Amino acid sequence: MDYKFYLNKGIQETNEGKFDEALHSLNRAIGLKNDDALSYFSLAIVFHNLNEIQSAYDNYSKAIELNPKMTDAYYNRAQVLLTDKNADEDTLKSAMSDLDRSVELDPKFIDAMYYKATIQKKLGDYKGAVATLDKIISIDPQAVYSKALKILIMQKYLK
């Protein structure tokens, strides 16, 4: 059996919430072919679900190293960094850099833009956050959360 068999099996097991089995299958896939970005990305998702943050981060990073155009790997790596509610400024900037890369690869990636705006707000860049939110609203005029966050920032921080 080739790596694709184990990769597909691991993805299916992940979707079924069978994370221990998925770890085994995905590690087998990587053992058979250690230069496949999707295998590392899938393994990172398992670690992310298990709340093994450093392992998730490392595997998203490996996926990005192997495929620098893997939009979701940047987005998910930022999400891993944002699991720390007390993240310092450098961590927030690193997450924002990953979100920026996601949007660069997919200019209509609204979720990435929204998280970027929340980071900008945390860093005190209220005008930048509003500009990011305006970009979201221009893409999706029904973006309720973006509109609400914009109103909050305008009323509370940019009076």
Give the pLDDT score at 89.
Answer: 96
Is there a single domain that holds both residue 2 and residue 34? yes
Q: Are 7 and 36 in contact (CB under 8 A)?
A: yes
Count how many domains the chain has. Answer: 2
The reply to whether 78 falls in a domain is no
Domain boundary among 68, 99, 114: 68
Q: Which long-range contacts (CB under 8 A, 24 or more apart) does 116-123 make?
A: 117/146, 117/149, 118/149, 119/82, 119/92, 119/93, 119/95, 120/96, 121/149, 121/153, 121/157, 122/92, 123/89, 123/92, 123/93
105: in domain = yes
Residues 6+ apart with CB under 8 A from 23: 10, 43, 46
Let me know whether 130 and 94 are in one domain.
Answer: yes
What is the domain range of residue 149?
85-159
Task: Write out the DSSP string of 70-98.
Answer: -HHHHHHHHHHHTT-TT--HHHHHHHHHH
User: Are 155 and 116 members of one domain?
Assistant: yes
CATH number, residue 23: 1.25.40.10
What is the pTM (predicted TM-score) of this model?
Answer: 0.95
Query: Residue 159: what pLDDT?
Result: 82
Mean pLDDT of each 10-residue bin along the chain, 159 residues long: 96 98 98 98 98 97 98 98 94 98 98 98 97 98 97 94
